[in-house]
Amino acid sequence: MGAIALQAIEKWFGELQVIKGLDLEITDGEFVVFVGPSGCGKSTLLRMIGGLEEISRGKLLIDGEDKSADPPSKRGLTMVFQSYALYPHMSVRENMGFSLKTAGAPRAEIDSKVNEAARILKLDAFLDRRPKTLSGGQRQRVAIGRSIVRDPTAFLFDEPLSNLDAALRVEMRYEIAKLHQSLRRTMIYVTHDQVEAMTLADRIVVLEFGRIAQVGTPRELYRRPANLFVAQFIGSPKMNVLECSTSNGSFSLSGGRGGQFTGKRPATKIGIRPEHVEIGPEGAGILDGTVDVLEYLGADTYLIVDGGSAGQITIRASGETELGIGDRIGVVAPENRLHFFDEMGQAV
């Protein structure tokens, strides 16, 4: 049982409101990721759920019970932090079992739970070693194992991979995904890395200045962003956005051409993802441009194209492209790949 509900949750620091009346339902066993830019309130929201920050207004329900005023120890949750926070003088075994030992659990129970957590996390060979002899990824697994032995209602992760190098982050993403599949426990994960969000989440909660901009599966947020903020936050490289005008069933670009428009209200911006842009001869597509910069990444090449008064366009092309700097191209945008937004930034 690990259903968590936030009802009109607010957080105030004096006269500054950082969480602005959030409502969110998280089902038992779901993996939910909070993402957003720095300062959007994602870590504060996680700490409010965990009991490390007081809830100013609203309710936190865990399995239907109001836990808003309960201390962390009464919420049945466990938290994994950015820093490993391991005791350097204790072995891995002692670190993982410390919370059970301080709670007065029998030695046999501690050994059983530590051994099971070590098996899940592939730490069996490291149980008698000290943290200083472990790699960053192994230390993070120990910190996660310390949480597993407590048999929590839900796991809370606060940017747990941000201290790791790129290779270890990929490895640990896999470990956490497998852990969720194995335990089927509710997990709430905070990150600013959208790759982590897209690869781990059942649902993503995109936060913008203390409010929820959109909630949905990774596929929903990628394919149908509700607004311009989500459209440019989800996806790498970010979505191209150009100024446009619409009338009589068509759109036109400043300094470019146009095409069909089927929206039910006017749009002022048009968006297309770099991977959906096609390259044509000059005169084809929605505008013409000049290749300004080439970023070769092996399998892919990113073309930064100067579209003149229409703006700059990023195109994700094959790594085998033979285009060079200064080449003139036509930017082709398939109609079913276009996104339109009104003057308030809402999807049309």
Report pLDDT digits (tens) over 239-282.
Answer: 999 999 999 899 999 877 888 998 889 999 999 999 999 999 99
Token pair for 127: 């149980």
The amino acid sitting at 210 is G
Residues paired with 279 in a beta bridge:
331
CA atoms of 96 and 312, how far apart (whole Å)? 52
CA atoms of 294 and 224, how far apart (whole Å)? 29
Helix axes 136-148, 166-183, angle to 10 degrees: 20
Report pLDDT digits (tens) over 292-332.
Answer: 999 999 999 999 999 998 899 999 999 999 999 999 999 99
**pLDDT value, residue 340:** 96
pTM: 0.90
**For residue 193, what is the enclosing H or E element?**
none
Report whether pLDDT(1) > 80.
no
Report pLDDT digits (tens) over 181-204.
Answer: 988 999 999 998 888 999 999 999
Confirm if 313 and 321 have CB atoms less than 8 A apart.
Answer: no
Token pair for 149: 């032995």
Cβ-proximal residues to 181 (8 Å cutoff; 6+ apart), any chain: none
CA atoms of 34 and 274, how far apart (whole Å)? 25
pLDDT tier, 2 (very low <50, low <70, confident <90, very high otherwise): confident
Instruction: For residue 124, give the 3-state DSSP assignment.
Output: helix
Report pLDDT digits (tens) over 113-157.
Answer: 999 999 888 899 999 999 999 988 889 889 989 999 988 999 999
Q: φ and ψ at 145, to 5 degrees?
A: -60, -35
**pLDDT value, residue 155:** 94
